[in-house]
Amino acid sequence: MTATATSRLSGLPDSPADLRTFLHGLPGVDKVGIEARAAALGTRSVKTTSKAQAIDLAIRMVDLTTLEGADTPGKVRALSAKALRPDPADPTCPPVAAVCVYPAMVPTAAAVLAGSGVHLASVATAFPSGQAPLDVKLADTRDAVAGGADEIDMVISRGAFLAGDYAHVFDEIVAVKEAAGPAHLKVILETGELGTYDNVRRASWLAMLAGADFIKTSTGKVPVAATLPVTLLMLEAVRDFRDRYGRQVGVKPAGGIRTTKDAIKYLVMINETCGDDWLHPDWFRLGASSLLNDLLMQRTKLTTGHYAGPDYFTLD
């Protein structure tokens, strides 16, 4: 573990053995209990004015994403234009938080987004598997930043994590953070591959200790992506981390969030877990693509009183 990293926060574990002791000393997570709590929060009824407020906030939190082998400059330009004006028919509709693309598409998106205030996120570090040598991951990161990305979504080495080599994961995050320079670093834990809630809690703390600005659930490339209980656990982690170290870290669930109803459940969960401080696009993002049109459809329904068909909302 590098000296620069360990000096960032006082009271950090300062050897691989200490790091393991620290992570394994975190309180356990009861699976039944956390799933029941997430489900209970999901029954909150958010209607009328609070629904309108929630929808606008959710739109402002969207990281509008395309991560396909088939992405082309044309597709990315269209997506970026949509990020700026999600609903061309309604100028009161806010823009989304960011566009999220592969590094090769960063310059294309940057050309559209420049000066708009909409952030440009790039996945990096051999996304989605993370199975590449460190220098490749760092080069990937530097390229994305050089191309205009101001946010980097990195993946952790789940292999190293599951093998118990926490120091390896820690050092990689520190190195990527350094390579990312001024860009915000989101660390993808790929919770669907971590297997247990205890592992998700440990990985969350590991990423935060190593300097993550955001912790993110998933790549969207494995069968289990963001879930409510996993996000609840990560919200508890950022809350407890700030209590302990005084530094606030953001949370980004990604993958599988498709409906306004789902998005509102996430907002309710923030509201009743961390409170106001995280109810802002600086501290919470929703990694999604099809979600945006459902939010727009519900938004139109609230203003006009009726549902418009899908053709009244633009393709990404």
The catalytic residue among 82, 137, 252, 265 is 252
Could you give the string, one character per residue 230-249, with x where binding to another protein holds by CB under 8 A and - elsewhere? ------x-------------
Q: Does 279 bind another protein (CB under 8 A)?
A: yes
Active-site annotation holds for 186: no
Strand 151-155 and strand 119-123: pairing? parallel
For another protein, which is the closer residue by CB, 109 or 264?
264
For another protein, which is the closer residue by CB, 2 or 53?
53
User: Quick check: 252 and 285 in contact, CB under 8 A?
Assistant: yes
Helix (H) / strand (E) containing 123: strand 119-123
The CB-of-96 to another protein minimum distance in angstroms stands at 19
Report the chain's C-alpha Rg in angstroms: 19
- What is the per-residue burial (b if ≥16 Cβ within 10 Å, else e) of 29-59? beeeebbebbeebeeeebeeeebeebbbbbb
Q: Does 314 bind another protein (CB under 8 A)?
A: no
Active-site annotation holds for 216: yes
C-alpha pair distances (Å), 104 with each of 130, 145, 225 = 17, 11, 24
The pair of structure tokens assigned to 285 is 């993002």
Number of chain residues interacting with another protein (CB under 8 A): 29
Q: Which of 260, 198, 261, 262 is nearest to 225 (CA)?
A: 262
CA-based torsion, 106, 67, 162, 27: positive or negative:
positive
Active-site annotation holds for 153: yes
Based on the number of CB atoms within 10 Å of its own CB, is 126 exposed (0-12), middle (13-18) or buried (19 or more)? middle
Among 5, 19, 23, 34, binds another protein (CB under 8 A): 34
The catalytic residue among 140, 153, 198, 213 is 153
The CB-of-267 to another protein minimum distance in angstroms stands at 6
The pair of structure tokens assigned to 42 is 């999901």
The CB-of-35 to another protein minimum distance in angstroms stands at 10
Among 45, 135, 309, 315, binds another protein (CB under 8 A): 45
DSSP string across 25-86:
TSPP--HHHHHHHHHHHTT----HHHHHHHHHHHHHHEEEE---TT--HHHHHHHHHHHH-S
Q: Which range binds another protein by CB under 8 A, 44-52, 95-103, 179-187, 214-222?
A: 44-52
Q: Does 73 bind another protein (CB under 8 A)?
A: no
SS3 155: strand
For another protein, which is the closer residue by CB, 44 or 221?
44
SS3 212: coil
Q: Does 252 bind another protein (CB under 8 A)?
A: no
Among 8, 12, 42, 44, binds another protein (CB under 8 A): 44
Among 16, 18, 50, 56, binds another protein (CB under 8 A): 50
The CB-of-47 to another protein minimum distance in angstroms stands at 5
SS3 1: coil
Q: Which of 151, 233, 153 is nearest to 191 (CA)?
A: 233
- Residue 138 phi, psi dihedral angles, 5° rounding: -70, -40
Q: Does 48 bind another protein (CB under 8 A)?
A: yes
Residues paired with 75 in a beta bridge: none
The CB-of-232 to another protein minimum distance in angstroms stands at 9
The CB-of-159 to another protein minimum distance in angstroms stands at 27
Among 10, 43, 70, 182, binds another protein (CB under 8 A): 43
Map the footprint of another protein across residues 192-231, applying CB under 8 A. Answer: none
Q: Which positions are annotated as active-site residues?
A: 153, 216, 252
Q: Which residues bind another protein (CB under 8 A)?
A: 27-30, 32-34, 36-37, 43-51, 53-54, 57, 236, 267-268, 270-272, 276, 279
